[in-house]
Amino acid sequence: MKVSIIGGGGRVGSCAASALQFGGIVNEIALVDVNLDVAEGEALDLLHGASLTSDQKIYAAGPETSADADIVCITAGLRRKPDESRLDLINRNVKLFRNILADLKQAGYRKDAIVFVVSNPVDVLTYLAMEELELPPQQVIGLGTVLDTTRLRSMLAQRLDVPPSQTQVTIFGEHGDSMVPIWSHAQIAGLPLEKYPGVTPQLIAEIEKKTRGSGAEVIKKKGGAGYAVGVSIADVIHTIALDQHRILPVSSLQNGAYGIQGVCLSVPTIVGRGGALQHIEVELWPKELTGLQRSGSVLRETIGKVLGG
């Protein structure tokens, strides 16, 4: 399994590469970046620890290395400038992303490749990649709310003093302001969350608010997220590499689940070697379903503004 990370010299791309190295499942990691020196430095740093981690090929290369990759992971993106609107940032990132896709098309890619979008706005850019690349829609996926979900689970576990691995609650919808935490199915070690000792509506509201602001908090304090998004990326890539058919909240083209069509967003999705294999519908609270459908409408409006479709 070869993974090409476009933007591999940046914080997110290099953290993803580190998580993949520690995972030891993929056997080849190529770092692609507009700044080749930085990508080479990151690859060299990772390579220096190879004897203590995994037997993998790790190197920096140009866009042409993606031609034979099993997974092309795109992490490159721009950050918001002071006083810049969200829409202006989206437009700048769409322009950059189109250039990345043009390089990918010029280099070529495998017919069975999975294109895995991490760059933000991830749902819009996943849709753009799906539209522009000649791949089946299920082979183009985005990180979606995988990162938001692990943030929510981890912070809830911290507040309740329970193991994070036994905390189950998932976020659907947009990776953004309209995301929808699905509290109706939340559990701690298989026990209903609302029955768990110490859980109150106030605690749930506090954790949800903290999750929504957690990305901005990390950016304010250290400049940008890295470790959590890196392991989130690796979790999805390992699921694909091992063809595990795990259910993950990745972003992919919706074709009717929960009444949503024509946008990429996150719902429970069976993920395997072929990408987003199937969407799963479960009964939601009415307010959750309404929120999820609103999330789809928000994304459709954004796509119309920036992509004209």
- The residues that are catalytic are 175
Strands 167-172 and 191-192: unpaired
Token pair for 234: 């690796």
Comparing CA positions, the residue from 146, 175, 173, 140 lying closest to residue 249 is 146
Q: Is the peptide bond before 121 cis (omega within 30 degrees of 0)?
A: yes
**Phi/psi of residue 282, each to 5°?**
-125, 160
Report d(CA 72, CA 95) in Å as an integer: 19
| β-strand partners of 253 | 264
DSSP 189: T
Report d(CA 25, CA 17) in Å as an integer: 12
CB atoms within 10 A of CB 300: 17
Question: If you write DSSP's letter for every residue of 25-72 in order, what string do you get?
Answer: --SEEEEE-SSHHHHHHHHHHHHHTGGGS---EEEEE-GGGGGG-SEE
- State the alpha helices, DSSP H only, in 223-285: 227-241
- The CA distances from residue 20 to 59, 94, 195, 228, 275, in Å, are 13, 27, 37, 13, 18
